Amino acid sequence: MTDGQKREVAAERTWLGVDVSLGISGAGLIASTAAASLPVLGNPAFYIGCALCLLAAYVGLGVFVTRVPLPKLPSERSAERLHGGLDAWIVEGLALDRRKISSEEEWQTWRHDTSVWAQRTYDWLVAEVSEARADAFTSQTVMAAHIPGTYNSEHNDQRLALQARVEWLQRLKNAGP
């Protein structure tokens, strides 16, 4: 079963619970009105019970018979927002990594842009995920290696750090919140 199918089943279970609760509440109010030997047509509980039963029928018909698209669960909306934000930071980080540097001025601009990206990503992680994960983002261990096409050794080291951070963001996205 794919993640999408699992979410759909979870949403259907939620709506089924709502539908059953409405139906039982409505039927209970109608039955209690009748059992109390009260005048049924003049009692507000009877009308509320009828309204709940009609609402249950409407939800059941709309969700389970005509297959109206279900609204997303709050957890789904939260996960989509998280993944969308992570995607944006990953794309921006990859663009920085691919940027070609051929002069000192380009090097200084790249260095500034990279530090700004790292700080903005850190701030976003603190706000949207957690401070612990944001701290993990900034403290990535980098293995020494030579990347072809680097401007100088410091550029090589910073590209390695940038790549490690982008990979960390990708792992966070794949692992979920």
**91 and 61 share one domain:** no
Segment 98-116, tens digit of pLDDT: 999 889 999 899 999 999 9
**119 and 156 share one domain:** yes
Decide: pTM greater than 0.75.
Answer: no
**83 and 124 share one domain:** yes
pLDDT for 38 equals 61
Total of domains in the chain = 2
Sequence-ordered list of residues with C-beta below 8 angstroms from that of 110, at least 6 positions apart, any chain: 96, 99, 101, 155
Residue 43 reports pLDDT greater than 80: no
**59 and 33 share one domain:** yes
Is residue 138 within 8 Å of 118, Cβ to Cβ? Answer: yes
**Domain-ending residue, one of 20, 37, 65:** 65
Segment 133-153, tens digit of pLDDT: 888 888 877 777 777 777 788
**Residue 52, SS3?**
helix
pLDDT for 144 equals 75
The more confident residue out of 11 and 82 is: 82
**125 and 171 share one domain:** yes
**Domain-ending residue, one of 42, 65, 88:** 65
**Distance (Å, whole) CA 34 – CA 37:** 5
pLDDT for 155 equals 83
**12 and 60 share one domain:** yes
Is residue 70 included in any domain, yes or no? no
**Number of other CB atoms surrounding residue 28 within 10 Å:** 14
**Distance (Å, whole) CA 153 – CA 155:** 5
Q: Which residues form the domain of 13?
A: 3-65
**Domain-ending residue, one of 18, 47, 65:** 65
